Chain A
Amino acid sequence: MAVAEAAPAPAPAPASPGPAEAIAARSRTAALRRFCRQQPLGAVSLVVILAMMVAGLLSEVVAPYDPLAIDFAGILSPPSWQHWAGTDAFGRDVFSRLIHGSRTALVIGFASSFLGSTIGAVLGAASAYFGGRIDDLIQRLVDILLAFPLIVLALVVVAVLGKGLVLGIDVNLICAIAIPIVPRVARVVRAAALSVRVMPYIDAARAAGYSHVRIVFRHMAPNLVAPYLIMLTAHIAQAILLEASLSFLGLGVAEPTPAWGLMLSGNASDFFREAPWLILFPGLAISLAVFAFNLFGDSLRDWLDPRFKL
């Protein structure tokens, strides 16, 4: 149905040249308010993500205990007012470890997924846009990478690169997790880009004589935001779990560093019958984070699509 005419667009009146910064600031808060109104689920997930970020950045302040402090007197104590999420086999406070672990989860999970998805998206879009030889080359590389299971590929990369700590963050670990994500995103984005590439508006841009860079980034990329965001948020979960697996194999984050995956897969598996909180709370934390990122990605996708605005 043609609803084109009816709804008066939320016309941000053609900004008259004035104090540009004030206008920008005002429109930014207005945009945030509009986001919260139109995407309530997205707003909730944004709050969860922000909470994780605060916990990660200010974990020393927020956490009630030192995550490394061993207390043999209180090992495997169930959740209580002292220890909200109980203690583990060394008597360390699980809740504090979760707070500290959010830093690892955010950095490793988000950074590696972002890195892998972005490289994958650029490769996929370029592959579709240029076609021919370049497409063949990129796609055969993708085939090779896809031939290895995620974990094996990450293992190889970690084993080859070793550890590379920058500001206490293992950059090589991020790369190791990002690399297996690249081909998966490249495939999906390429498929979407192939259908965008044949749209007449891309032909119009070519007929206008615009540069390749401009066409790919200005005309194609915004139309690939949806698959990109979906892949990005979906892989954050994958990345957190992959980091956990690598840690379990001794190639990721090592004990006693607090990390969700490590908490889930470490000695917790020996005690979960007696102390289910050891796996319950890290599991919940991972689920919550994954859920929040997915929902936020979905709402962001809808919100960025002008077709959803009336």
Chain B
Amino acid sequence: MLDVQPTHDAGGAHAAGPDGDRQPLLAVEDLHVEFSTDAGTVRAVEGLSFSVDRGEVVAIVGESGSGKSVTALSIMRLLPARSGRVTRGRIAFDGRNLLDLDGEQMRQIRGRDISMIFQEPMTSLNPILQIGLQIMEPLQIHLGLDEAQARARAVELMRLVGIPDAERRLGQYPHQFSGGMRQRVMIAIGLACNPKLIIADEPTTALDVTIQAQILELMKDLSRKLDIALIVITHNLGIVARYADRVIVLYAARMAEQGPAEAIFHRPRHPYTMGLLRSVPRIDRPGGARLETIEGLPPSLAAPPSGCRFAPRCPYRIAGCDAQPPLVATDTGGLSACVRTAEIAAGSIAWARAAADAGAKAQVAADQPLLSVRGLTKHFVVSTGLLGRAGRVRAVEDVSFDVRPGETLGLVGESGCGKTTVGRLILRLEEPTSGAIRFEGRDLLRASEGELAAMRRKVQVIFQDPYSSLNPRMTVGQIVGEPLRVYDLAQGDAAVRARVGDLLGQVGLRAEMAVRYPHQLSGGQRQRVGIARALAMEPSFIVCDEAVSALDVSIQGQIINLLEDLQRAHGLSYLFIAHDLAVVRHISMRVVVMYLGRVMEVADRDALYREPLHPYTKLLLDAAPVPDPTVEKARAPRLITGELPSPLAPPEGCVFHTRCPLAGPECRQAVPPLREAKPGHHVACVKA
């Protein structure tokens, strides 16, 4: 079946030779990967072919379950041994078919010629080994360096990836490094043996926006400088736009489209790519209009549809879509798996505009605030060291804002800025150290038990993680129906069942879903159940804590639209806590920017994004990637240098002065108060 290459050069003399420049560094041909699961055989990758040239940056984009990580693991031959196997295909790396190598030969390639950077820098370093040892290990194993040589090279590598004070930090342990620094260490380990190819699986997903930009900039820079090919696997289209030369779009185990980055973003030739680009909120465009989403869910790979995988969700579906579409060359120099590619290229079909009623935002009515937060402060006492010397984490410090009825207030900031704590304080899941929270004019902190119980119902929450926010032992019907029974909102089983069906309908689920357990639902469906549970209480205010950030791009758009529809239908107010500036721009009416527990800036959405006043806001907006290669490549990102200071010992004066480009001596003197720079635009900076 396979034209097996004679691989006599097994021993190690793997001189690629000068002719290596002619052929691509990596050529994946007709790759098929299967997994055996309890539910039967799942074809995780089907017929995937692509190549990567030396020094090229290729992005593989796709939603969860599209097969992008499986592709990476297949190249590394790291598929789970029992359940996963490559059933067909060829992976030629530097002229050798990796699938023919034995374990020992493959081990020599891993880490030496191909290295991999994983998503989670917190868990992919061994916590009990010094950083130095972990960087030196591949050098000693693969290149046979002695201790001193390896140490010298490790120091060099750490400088290369921008870790200051390298000699000293070699002896430190992973917990002494921040997330961004750990990812730099991972990159240093990846670079250690001068690999020809680095595969980065979601390398920045776990990092903050500002750190994310630093890491991506570093990777792109290194790949160019050292002529390393880079495969970036991601779901974030913004990252792709800034860094990739070529983009491969996967959908449900098959390639939907591939082509040069410019073409994919400006002239997509596959309906899935078109839909994906449209369903992402854009930070550089004013929000307000309804997001145009791809309806439906990705298919199950255990029972995929015959023919085009995307057809069930595709607005241009025609009879010819019942057969599996071949990959055809597009006018943009790429490939597209759509039978109507030519028509799309000719512009004779375009993505249908969403319903025209868009933009009709809920009206913010009264000027009497629904929720009013004043001087909210939360300190966590932590004990450090053996003797339990108590330290104070200043999670939230003197935060004030109002939320008006029917309004969406965005709350943005990097991890550790205290935004989630603010949400938990409002929900009374934590007791504030000081400050006041008034809801409908009544003080939540001094409310009696009875008043609090009534208030609980009015203030609800939607969590980030749809996997852990639903009790796995309860059915959807029990989860949504519980508040109805406890608060006696529906009398009798029949009434409860009817109301549960009604609520599920409101969030776009079928009433039959009530008998299912959470694990039988997809991520987007679970999030809808979470929303239905909140709605069951008949609340007037909902805290959305990163409510869409764990969802796939096409599902994210659906949920955002749902939240906006519900707001209009029920006059809800949202506190929308998020780190994704684009999503916040889309959904919010006003935005609060937090940094290290303090409010930096409060303004109307458009004013904030058009002319941010606080230097932190400016840098934050600069760091956020935009899914548009032309915009991305035109602007020189001003990176925020440095790391987030520890909230255990926040800087004196303005907390941002350690990273602020404008900081002067006066910034270290006193905490700048939040002042009204323009009508409705508050900023906490003496220079702005």
Contacts and interface: CB of A to CB of B under 8 A. Distances in A.
Interface in A80-123: none
A208 B486 contact: yes
A9 B516 contact: yes
A203 interface: yes
B519 A307 contact: yes
A149 interface: no
Contact of B65 (A2, A9, A199, A207): A2
Given A207-B427, A214-B486, A11 B512 contact: yes
Contacts of A147: none
10 contacts: A4-B525, A6-B303, A199-B469, A203-B461, A203-B469, A207-B456, A208-B537, A210-B486, A218-B482, A306-B472
A307 B453 contact: no
B465 A200 contact: yes
A310 B38 contact: yes
B509 to A, nearest CB: 13
Contact of B461 (A3, A4, A204, A307): A204
A307 B517 contact: yes
A21 interface: no
Interface of B: 35, 37-39, 42, 44, 64-65, 297, 299-303, 424, 427-429, 452-453, 456-457, 459-461, 463-465, 468-475, 482-483, 486, 493-494, 497, 512, 514-517, 519-522, 525, 530, 533, 537
Nearest to B483: A208
A209 B456 contact: yes
Contacts of A166: none
A223 interface: yes
A201 B468 contact: yes
A14 B514 contact: yes
Given A1-B35, A201-B471, A219-B471, A209 B452 contact: yes
A270 interface: no
B570 to A, nearest CB: 18
Nearest to B479: A201
Contacts of B424: 203
Given A200-B463, A203-B429, 18 more contacts: A2-B301, A6-B303, A9-B515, A9-B516, A11-B512, A11-B516, A14-B514, A17-B493, A17-B494, A200-B465, A203-B427, A203-B463, A203-B469, A208-B456, A208-B482, A208-B483, A306-B475, A307-B519
B454 to A, nearest CB: 8
Interface in A171-224: 199-201, 203-210, 214, 218-219, 222-223
Contact of B522 (A4, A11, A222): A4
Contacts of A218: 482
Contacts of B429: 203, 206-207
A274 interface: no
Nearest to A306: B517
Q: Chain A contact residues: over half helix, strand or loop, or mixed?
A: loop
B497 A204 contact: no
A14 B468 contact: no
A224 to B, nearest CB: 10
A238 to B, nearest CB: 28
A3 B517 CA distance: 13
Nearest to A3: B39
Contacts of A3: 37-39, 300, 302
Contacts of B470: 201
A309 interface: yes
B517 A309 contact: yes
A12 interface: yes
A222 B474 CA distance: 9
Q: Would you list the 9 A-B pairs with minimal beta carbon distance, nearest first?
A: A209-B456, A200-B469, A222-B473, A306-B517, A5-B300, A200-B463, A3-B39, A201-B471, A6-B300
